[in-house]
Amino acid sequence: MSFSELNIDAFRMINNLGKDYSFLNPVVIFIAEYLLYFLFLAMILHWFTRNKKNRMMVIQSVVTVILAEIIGKIAGQFYSHHQPFAVLPNVSQLIEHGIDNSFPSDHSIIFFSICFSFWLVRKKEWWLWITLAILVAISRVWVGVHYPVDVMTGAIIGIISALFAYWLVPKISLITKILKGYERIEQRILPSKNKTENF
């Protein structure tokens, strides 16, 4: 059996869950389409906790997403295919999506970039962030807009980019200086607050 056949078989197995367990489809659609907004909200909330570690984590997340998206676009130049619903018969397509190169999955890149960046800093909550990223990856296959190889490649790109940004960003003095300058301005504008490195 070829890799392409394995990829299609794995897609069918997950995508057919939408037919077998249709009562779960509204939840899966929500995860596939709208959980991204809650992830961005989580980044904003962590930034405004006025906690230096959280802010560095958010900066690392942003750098990770940018780096991962660049790598993803490059990967898409070497290998490409259209969404499963545009190619295969009898696909359970649960959300609207344009037809373009679905390799790798942008949603997987973004979620694994941010969630893994969060996990590296907030290790007590690792299960939450990794679970969210995995659920989104599965949901994108479930709703018929990506193959398993799309989401797995996006996950690998996001994780590698997060590890690199976690190592690199704190070493960039310009980012550290900008963050310190922002905090000084914030102290002048907003009431003082006891800061802790962990909470």
pLDDT digits (tens, 9 = 90+) for 93-135: 999 999 999 999 999 999 999 999 999 998 888 889 999 999 9
Phi, psi of 78 (to 5 degrees): -95, -25
Determine which helix (DSSP H) or strand (DSSP E) holds 35, and give its type and residue range.
helix 25-47
| Closest to 109 (Cα-Cα) out of 139, 49, 173, 152 | 152
The domain ranges of the chain are: 3-189
Confidence of residue 192 (pLDDT cuts 50, 70, 90): low
Pair 140, 107: CB distance under 8 Å: yes
Pair 88, 105: CB distance under 8 Å: no
Predicted model pTM: 0.88
Helix axes 52-78, 173-189, angle to 10 degrees: 140
Pair 114, 149: CB distance under 8 Å: no
Q: What is the torsional sign of CA 50, 53, 54, 58?
A: positive
Other CB atoms within 10 Å distance of the CB of residue 180: 11
Q: Hey, what are 42's tokens? A: 């989580």
In the chain, the percentage of residues whose pLDDT exceeds 70 is 95
Q: For residue 86, give every residue at least 6 positions away whose Cβ sits within 8 Å of its Cβ, in sequence order, or none.
A: 99
Q: What is the torsional sign of CA 54, 60, 65, 66?
A: positive
CATH superfamily of 3-189: Phosphatidic acid phosphatase type 2/haloperoxidase (1.20.144.10)
How high does pLDDT run on average in the chain? 91
